[in-house]
Amino acid sequence: MTATHDVVIVGAGPAGSTAAQVLAQKGFSVLVLDKAAFPRDKLCAGLLTWKAVDVLERVFAETPEGLLATGVFNTATPGYRIRFRDRTIAAGEMFYPFHLTARRVFDKHLLDRAVKAGADVRQECRVVSVDPARASVRLDDGREFRGRHLVGADGVGSIVRAACPFDRSAWKAGLGGAMEFYLPRTDPLLAGKVHEDLRAPNPTVYAGFLRAGYGWVFPHKEHLAIGIGGHSARHAKDFRPRFREFVEFLGLPASLADKAKGHGLPYGNYLQAPWHGPTMLVGDAAGLVETLFGEGIYYALRSGELAGEALAAALSRGADPTAVYGKGLRRDILPELVWSRKLRRLLYASQSWGFLPLLCFVRGGGRLLGEMVHGVRSYRLLLRRAAGPKI
């Protein structure tokens, strides 16, 4: 079978849509396949830092003001709170707000933009078999597509990654997990005696409930995203009981935790060279998730952008796409994952001494830590990595 497209992309989450946008804008023929019909849900707390907004501005020419006006972002909040169980470790305002989005809305918006740019998007197309060496895929209805290049943007359970010769046990050993539910702001439970954080306008994160992970309450316009996430191997069957404890701590019935959905989360099992022959992996499929807070949307957007640019360089001037993609990963993404993992080890190990190590770390770091979270500074020794927002 000869190539049907320049690039076939499996998965239309933020990583796939961004790669498609970059390539389609440059005039390459791009096919995007997704098993879902959009809008579709994706379990996610939907918090975006400055560095994610920066990619949206660069690749999609979006502005945060425009995204707020159209409802793609539903909330912008500069406030934050960090707790060790009930004790406030830090609270205040950042130099730049966190933006919150519902993934149903966000992912559909980015996909629509890729379609407008010229990408051929086919929904309800489940890929069931992949030949990474030939950049070809087969759907469950038997249809086959082949690109000159293939991009696996199909999330944490990637079928494209599974078809490549990567070390499966290392992947599994570093996998994390998360559980979450969305509580509508109109829910009568919120009118009762609940924890004050459920009425706060700012996101709150909680240490002290998981030995290797954390909990969160993120205040979207119409609902609260309440969840817990961390390292799977360390917690295994422990997640649900810990989530029950967290939900009860918030003054909510533990039954909400029982009904909550779970989802895999790369948590330190990132691939350093996520490619095989003409096939590349981006986003969760490559494990590109920050390894302390589990932030993945920026890494999906940025790796999609880097892969799109690398493939455009290959298609237009014969560059080696893996060399170009690898260089971008080593410059912008991998140092953040390596150093956030070092920091995580330190913080998680020190939790056994209670709240004091976290308190010293957060108070000592001050504004620099905020800049690190938003991506102006690196997790690597807090070195400056970007000019930051114009404010």
Ligand X SMILES: Cc1cc2nc3c(=O)[nH]c(=O)nc-3n(C[C@H](O)[C@H](O)[C@H](O)COP(=O)(O)OP(=O)(O)OC[C@H]3O[C@@H](n4cnc5c(N)ncnc54)[C@H](O)[C@@H]3O)c2cc1C
Q: Of 97, 155, 274, 278, which lies in the binding site for ligand X, with binding defined by CB under 6 A?
A: 155
Positions 233 through 262 that interact with ligand X (CB under 6 A): none
Residue closer to ligand X (CB basis): 276 or 355? 276
Q: Which residue is nearest to ligand X (CB)?
A: 296
- Residue 50 main-chain phi, psi, to 5 deg: -55, -40
Binding mask 114-153 for ligand X (x = CB under 6 A): ------------xx-------------------------x
- Residue 292 main-chain phi, psi, to 5 deg: -105, -60
Q: Of 8, 24, 47, 310, which lies in the binding site for ligand X, with binding defined by CB under 6 A?
A: 47
**164 counts as binding ligand X under rule CB under 6 A:** no
- For residue 318, the minimal CB distance to ligand X (Å) is 28
Contacts of residue 16, defined as CB under 8 A and 6 or more positions apart, other chains included, come to: 9, 10, 32, 34, 151, 153, 154, 282, 283, 304
From the list 12-20, 84-92, 116-124, 161-169, the region that binds ligand X by CB under 6 A is 12-20
Q: Kind and range of the H or E element at 147?
A: strand 144-152
Q: Kind and range of the H or E element at 97?
A: strand 87-100
From the list 39-47, 113-121, 206-214, 271-279, the region that binds ligand X by CB under 6 A is 39-47
Q: Of 9, 14, 54, 67, which lies in the binding site for ligand X, with binding defined by CB under 6 A?
A: 14
From the list 71-79, 242-250, 283-291, 309-317, the region that binds ligand X by CB under 6 A is 283-291
Q: Which residues of 293-302 are buried (b: 16+ CB within 10 A; e: fewer)?
A: bbbbbbbbbb
From the list 191-199, 206-214, 236-244, 295-303, the region that binds ligand X by CB under 6 A is 295-303
From the list 32-40, 70-78, 250-258, 268-276, the region that binds ligand X by CB under 6 A is 32-40
Q: How far apart are CA 3 and CA 102, in angstroms?
A: 36
DSSP-derived secondary structure letter, 106: H
Residue closer to ligand X (CB basis): 27 or 241? 241
Q: How far apart are CA 4 and CA 21, in angstroms?
A: 18
Counting residues that bind ligand X (by CB under 6 A) gives 39
**289 counts as binding ligand X under rule CB under 6 A:** yes
Q: How far apart are CA 60 and CA 21, in angstroms?
A: 8
- For residue 232, the minimal CB distance to ligand X (Å) is 11
DSSP 29-93: -EEEE-SSPSS-------EE-HHHHHHHHHHH---HHHHHHTTSS-EEEEEEEEEETTEEEEEEE
- For residue 364, the minimal CB distance to ligand X (Å) is 25
- Three-state DSSP class for 104? helix
Positions 305 through 364 that interact with ligand X (CB under 6 A): none
**10 counts as binding ligand X under rule CB under 6 A:** yes
Secondary structure (H, E, C), 173-229: HCEEEEEEEEEECCCHHHHCCCCHHHHCCCCEEEECCCCCEEEEEEECCCEEEEEEE
How far out from the chain centre does Cα 354 lie? 29
Positions 71 through 110 that interact with ligand X (CB under 6 A): none
- For residue 35, the minimal CB distance to ligand X (Å) is 4
Q: Which residues of 379-389 are buried (b: 16+ CB within 10 A; e: fewer)?
A: beeeeebeebb
Q: How far apart are CA 91 and CA 79, in angstroms?
A: 7
Q: How far apart are CA 287 and CA 232, in angstroms?
A: 14
Residue closer to ligand X (CB basis): 31 or 159? 159
Strand partners, 20: none
Antiparallel, parallel or unpaired: β 279-281 and 144-152: parallel
- For residue 110, the minimal CB distance to ligand X (Å) is 9
- For residue 99, the minimal CB distance to ligand X (Å) is 10
Residue closer to ligand X (CB basis): 179 or 355? 179
Q: Of 62, 154, 305, 332, which lies in the binding site for ligand X, with binding defined by CB under 6 A?
A: 154
Query: Would you tell me which residues interact with ligand X (CB under 6 A)?
Result: 10-16, 33-36, 42-47, 126-127, 153-155, 159, 178, 180, 227, 229, 263, 265, 283-285, 289, 294-298, 300
